[in-house]
C-alpha cells in the first residue's frame, strides 16, 4: 500500500503452510514498511509465525531491518522463539543476515510490475 504523495510504503503478507504428513499447519503474518529515497529504500518489518491448527498459537516473532542502495541489499533479522518448547542450543534466538546484489536487472515486460 502506498500514497502517491508519500515516500512510505506498507506491505502486509501471509504465508500459509500445510504439512500432509501429520496434518499440522502454520501461518506467517508479516508486515514490512519501506521508506523510499530516490531509487533506494530503507525498510523495517516484523513476522509472527503461528500454529494454525492450535488456534494460532504463536511460535516465534522476528523483527527485521534492511536497506537497498543501488543494486545492493543488506538486511538483518532476529528470530525469537515464544512457545513453551525450549531448545537449549538455540536459547538466545537466531540471527539472520542477508546480502544481495541485482545482476543485469532490466524492466519486466509485464505491465503489472511497472
- Per-residue pLDDT at 18 exceeds 60: yes
pLDDT for the residue numbered 71: 87
- Residue burial 85-107, b: 16+ Cβ < 10 Å; e: rest: eeeeeeeeeeeeeeeeeeeeeee
Mean pLDDT of the chain: 85
Q: How confident is the model at residue 102 (pLDDT cuts 50, 70, 90)?
A: confident
Distance of CA 103 to the CA centre of its chain: 22
| Residues 60-96: tens digit of each pLDDT | 899 999 999 988 999 999 998 887 665 555 566 889 9
**Phi/psi at 61 (nearest 5 deg)?**
-130, 140
Amino acid at each position: 500500500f502506498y500514497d502517491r504523495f508519500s515516500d512510505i510504503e506498507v506491505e502486509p503478507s501471509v504465508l500459509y503452510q500445510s504439512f500432509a504428513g501429520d496434518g499440522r499447519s502454520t501461518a506467517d503474518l508479516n508486515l514490512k514498511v519501506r521508506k523510499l529515497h530516490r531509487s533506494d529504500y530503507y525498510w523495517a518489518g516484523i513476522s509472527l509465525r503461528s500454529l494454525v491448527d492450535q488456534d494460532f498459537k504463536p511460535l516465534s516473532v522476528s523483527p527485521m531491518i534492511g536497506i537497498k542502495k543501488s543494486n545492493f541489499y543488506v538486511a538483518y533479522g532476529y528470530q525469537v522463539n515464544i512457545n513453551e518448547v525450549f531448545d537449549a542450543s538455540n536459547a538466545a534466538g537466531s540471527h539472520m543476515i542477508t546480502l544481495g546484489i541485482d545482476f543485469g536487472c532490466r524492466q519486466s515486460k509485464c505491465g503489472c510490475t511497472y
